[in-house]
């Protein structure tokens, strides 16, 4: 297992387009988190999953954002009708369970033109 994998690493898109990011966590990890980090800021929590169940969703996540983890393994984060303010690094992390050490992916950088 090579850790948490995120794809694509960098996505450049035009405003109004839809984008989807994928996260493959460490295989035995039950928890999967999505964060957003803008330049010079700490990561902001977006949502997390316990297996396939989405247990928490930040108010930062507008209706244009949706996340899934259909089989409790990989997860996707989709942003519809992208806006320039969506430009950020989208980070995925996984853990064995509540309160366990987090393992982060390298992130997916989104640039909206």
Partner 1 sequence: KNEVEQSPQNLTAQEGEFITINCSYSVGISALHWLQQHPGGGIVSLFMLSSGKKKHGRLIATINIQEKHSSLHITASHPRDSAVYICAVCDSNYQLIWGAGTKLIIKP
**CA 8/CA 31 separation, integer angstroms:** 21
Where residue 66 falls (left for φ over 0; alpha for ψ -120 to 50; beta otherwise) is beta
Q: How far is the CB of 18 from partner 1 (least distance, A)?
A: 26
Q: Name the residues that contact partner 1, by CB under 8 A.
A: 33, 42-45, 48, 50, 55-56, 91, 93, 98-107
Q: Which two tokens stand for residue 61?
A: 């996540």
Q: How far is the CB of 1 from partner 1 (least distance, A)?
A: 16
14 or 101: CB nearest partner 1: 101
**CA 66/CA 94 separation, integer angstroms:** 18
Q: Is the peptide bond before 8 cis (omega within 30 degrees of 0)?
A: yes
9 or 15: CB nearest partner 1: 9
Q: How far is the CB of 97 from partner 1 (least distance, A)?
A: 10
68 or 106: CB nearest partner 1: 106
């Amino acid at each position: 297992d090579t850790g948490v994998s995120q794809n694509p690493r960098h996505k450049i898109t035009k405003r109004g387009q839809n984008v989807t990011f994928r996260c493959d966590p460490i295989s035995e990890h039950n928890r999967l988190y999505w964060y957003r980090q803008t330049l010079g800021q700490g990561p902001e929590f977006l949502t997390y999953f316990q297996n396939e169940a989405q247990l928490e969703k930040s108010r930062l996540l507008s209706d244009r954002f949706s996340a899934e983890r259909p089989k409790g393994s990989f997860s996707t984060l989709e942003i519809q009708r992208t806006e320039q303010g969506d430009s950020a690094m989208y980070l995925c992390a996984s853990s064995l369970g509540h309160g366990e050490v987090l393992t982060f992916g390298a992130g997916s950088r989104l640039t909206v033109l």
